[in-house]
Amino acid sequence: MKVLFFRSEPVNISGLPSIEIINVPIFTPFCVDYSIELDNFESVAFTSKNAIRCCKDINRIKSMKVFSIGPATASELQKHGIESIIPDKFDSENLGKTIINYGVKSLVSFRSKKANDTLRNILSDKIKYEEIYNYDIILNEEMLKKAKEFLDCNVDVVVLTSSEIARVTSPYLKKCYKIISIGPVTSSTLKKNRPDLEIIDSKKYDLEGIIEILVGLDSD
């Protein structure tokens, strides 16, 4: 089973030789400069590993309450000796609800310039909230060209791991393979652009949830 993965970092599935992973990163992340007075906030949130890697204040947040959107982001924080709180489901909506449930009064989140507005909509009228966009992504035209070749019915499964990936690839998706979405925001973007397509939604909203679906498909 050939699986096309749109993800900035390579995906490897060990112990399943029947699943061939094709990694095509169509976006290249890069850090951008920012400024923030962290002393004005009691807590901080990260919604991706890139946001952590592009945070020049990472050593200053160790005394703050820290939230992360999911296990992969939490694992990246642990490399810096920082433990974080994660929601039960790994998306912006559940992250926002978790932050509110912890009684946080002020929070700054580090995000991509192309981040969706879900977290902001949940928090901005309930707590003191500010978003810092410390990285951006640029479309890799060569990788997109390569992806189009695979999307022309040359794979069995396509995995979409972000809303922006769903938006960019939606014109080239076909019905000749199964499409897996990492979560509801990504699915919503795809349904908006391509209501004709059927989508398999990950239940865990992370890479582990996607792998569980792939294992199930492989055993059918």
Could you please report the per-residue DSSP string of 124-161? TTTSEEEEEEEEEEEE-HHHHHHHHHHHTT--SEEEE-
Say if CB 205 and CB 187 are below 8 A apart: no
Beta-bridge partners for 27:
139
Closest CA to 177 of 163, 195, 193, 197: 197
Domains and CATH numbers, the chain: 2-26+140-219 (3.40.50.10090), 29-137 (3.40.50.10090)
220: pLDDT strictly greater than 70: no
User: What pLDDT score was predicted for residue 204?
Assistant: 85
Q: Which residue has the higher pLDDT, 14 or 101?
A: 101
Sign for the pseudo-dihedral over CA of 110, 115, 117, 118: negative
Closest CA to 42 of 99, 119, 116: 99
pLDDT digits (tens, 9 = 90+) for 16-25: 778 999 999 9
Mean pLDDT calculated for residue range 173-190? 95
Mean pLDDT of the chain: 94
| Cα-only R_g, the chain | 18
Query: Range with the lowest mean pLDDT among 32-36, 80-84, 196-200, 210-214?
Result: 210-214
pLDDT digits (tens, 9 = 90+) for 53-90: 999 999 999 999 999 999 999 999 999 999 999 999 99
- 3-class DSSP state of 24: coil
Quick one: tokens of 127?
């707590």
Mean pLDDT calculated for residue range 19-48? 95
User: What pLDDT score was predicted for residue 57?
Assistant: 96
146: pLDDT strictly greater than 70: yes
Confidence of residue 205 (pLDDT cuts 50, 70, 90): confident
38: pLDDT strictly greater than 70: yes
- Reported in sequence order, the residue ranges of the chain that DSSP labels E, i.e. its strands, are 2-6, 20-23, 27-31, 43-46, 65-68, 106-112, 128-139, 157-160, 178-181, 200-201
User: What pLDDT score was predicted for residue 182?
Assistant: 93
pLDDT digits (tens, 9 = 90+) for 104-128: 999 999 999 999 899 999 999 999 9
Query: Range with the lowest mean pLDDT among 9-13, 155-159, 160-164?
Result: 9-13
What percentage of the chain has pLDDT greater than the value 90? 85
Say if CB 98 and CB 45 are below 8 A apart: no
